[in-house]
Amino acid sequence: MSTLNVSSIREDFPILQQFVHGKPLVYLDSAATSQKPESVLRALDTYYRTTNANIHRGIYQLAEQATEQYENARKQVQKFINAKSWREIIFTRNATEALNLVAYSYGRANLRAGDEIVISVLEHHSNIVPWQLLAQEKNATLKHIPVDGQGQLALDDLENLLTEKTKIVAVTMMSNVTGAITPLDKIIARAHSVGAVVVVDAAQAAPHLPLDVRALDADFVAFSGHKMLGPFIGVLYGKRALLEAMPPFLGGGDMIRQVHLQESTWNELPHKFEAGTPAIAEAIGMGAAIDYLNALGMENVRAHEMELTQYALDKLQEVPTLRVIGPTASAQRGGLAAFEMQAEGTFPSIHPHDIAAILDRDAICIRAGHHCAQPLHDFYDLPATARASFYVYNTPDEIDQLVASLQNVRKMFNK
Between 406 and 321, name the one with better pLDDT.
406
pLDDT of residue 415: 56
Same domain assignment for residues 287 and 303: no
Average pLDDT over residues 20-25: 96
The closest alpha carbon to 235, from 282, 297, 288, belongs to 282
Same domain assignment for residues 189 and 329: no
Task: State yes or no: pLDDT of 233 exceeds 60.
Answer: yes
Condensed to tens digits (0 to 9), the pLDDT of residues 113-132 reads 999 999 999 999 999 999 99
Same domain assignment for residues 181 and 305: no
- Any domain includes 314: yes
Same domain assignment for residues 183 and 302: no
Specify whether the CB–CB gap between 181 and 332 falls below 8 A: yes
Average pLDDT over residues 300-306: 97
- Whole-prediction pTM: 0.97
Residue 367's Cβ-count burial label (10 Å; 0-12, 13-18, 19+) is: buried
pLDDT band at 326 (very low <50, low <70, confident <90, very high): very high
Task: State yes or no: pLDDT of 346 exceeds 60.
Answer: no
Same domain assignment for residues 59 and 173: yes
User: Can you give the three-state secondary structure of 77-144, one letter per residue?
Assistant: HHHHHCCCCHHHEEEECCHHHHHHHHHHHHHHHHCCCCCEEEEECCCCHHHCHHHHHHHHHHCCEEEE
Q: How many Å apart are CA 44 and CA 366, to the nearest integer?
A: 27
> Of the candidates 295, 320, 343, which is a domain's last residue?
295
Tell me how crowded residue 189 is: count the other CB atoms within 10 A of its CB: 12
How many domains is the chain built from?
Answer: 2
Across 23-37, 96-110, 284-298, 336-350, least confident range: 336-350
Percent of the chain with pLDDT over 90: 93
- Any domain includes 2: no
Average pLDDT over residues 391-398: 98
Active site residues: 372
Under DSSP, the state recorded for 50 is: I
Same domain assignment for residues 269 and 191: yes
pLDDT band at 414 (very low <50, low <70, confident <90, very high): confident
> Of the candidates 256, 280, 295, which is a domain's last residue?
295
Q: How many Å apart are CA 82 and CA 22, to the nearest integer?
A: 45
- Any domain includes 264: yes
> Of the candidates 295, 329, 351, which is a domain's last residue?
295
Condensed to tens digits (0 to 9), the pLDDT of residues 146-183 reads 999 899 999 999 999 999 999 999 999 999 999 999 99
pLDDT of residue 406: 97
Give phi and psi for 53, each to the nearest 5: -160, 160
Range of the domain at 211: 40-295
- Any domain includes 374: yes
- Any domain includes 49: yes
